[in-house]
Structure formats: structure tokens, C-alpha cells
Amino acid sequence: MDIQHTARLAKLEIPEDSAEKWQKDMESIIEMVGKLPEIDEDELLLHDEIMPMHDDILLEPLISRDEMLSNAPAAKNGYICVPKTVTDKEHSK
């Protein structure tokens, strides 16, 4: 396991000064959980166990937009505010 690669995928930051400890901890956990029974290749995908899709049924919203937005860290005029997602450089391409 490459701790920094996994952290990047998980959108977490592991400080360099504790990376070695994290690496060791995670490796011992992975070693533990990796002890699994041998399973035949054709049993791995479990086609017969796929969950059925449920119909999406539209219900009248019980929660107003303002209520929904009340937990957003930043909101304005009914919208959630986030930092700029496109830089000027990318925009001009």
C-alpha cells in the first residue's frame, strides 16, 4: 500500500512526519483483513445476488430549500457557494 496515493484518492492529507506511522498501521490492518478463504474465480462476481433496482418515485418535497441550505457552510440567494472551480488559464483554452 502506498499511503500517500491512497490518501490522495480519499481526499485526505497525511502529514509527512506521520506518514511512516500511518503506513505501518495500515499495513498491519490490511494484513489482518486480507486473511480470507480461497474463493473460486466463478463465484467471485455473484451474478445471482445483484440487488434489484427500485423505482424512483417522486414525492412532494417536505423540506424547503431554505431548510436544506441552512446547514451549508456558505450559501447565498438559494445557492451553495464554493470556490472558483475554473481557473483563468483553463478558461482561456
Partner 1 sequence: MKLYEYSASELIDMLNAGKCSSAEILGDITERISTAEKDIGAYITLNSTAKEAAVRSDELRSRGEPCHILSGIPVAVKDNISTAGMLTTCGSKMLENYIPPYDAHVIRCIKKAGMVITGKTNMDEFAMGSSTETSYFHVTRNPLDTSFSAGGSSGGSAAAIASGECISAICSDTGGSVRMPASFCGLVGLKPTFGNISRCGLIAFSPSIEQIGVMGKTVRDTELLYSLVSEYDPMDVMMTNKQYHSFDVNELKGLRIGIPTELFGDNISDECKKAVADALRLLEQNGAVITEISIPMLKYAANIYYIISSAEASSELARYDGVRFGHRSDSFTGLDDMYIRSRTEGFGDEVKRRIMLGTFVLSEGSRESYYLRAVSAMHMLKKEIISSFEHCDLIASPSYPEPPFHLAESISNTARYSADICTVPANLSGLPAISIPCGKAGNDMPLGLQLMSMPFREDLLFFAAGEYEKLCGGFSQFRGGKAYGV
Q: Does 90 interact with partner 1 (rule: CB under 8 A)?
A: no
Return d(Cα 89, Cα 66) in angstroms, integer: 35
Contact with partner 1 (CB under 8 A) among 16, 35, 60, 90: 35
Cell, residue 53: 433496482
**Bridge partner list, 76:** 79
- Which three-class secondary structure state does DSSP give residue 79? strand
Sole binder of partner 1 in the list 19, 20, 67, 79 (CB under 8 A): 67
61 binds partner 1 (CB under 8 A): no
Q: Is 83 in the site for partner 1 (CB under 8 A)?
A: yes
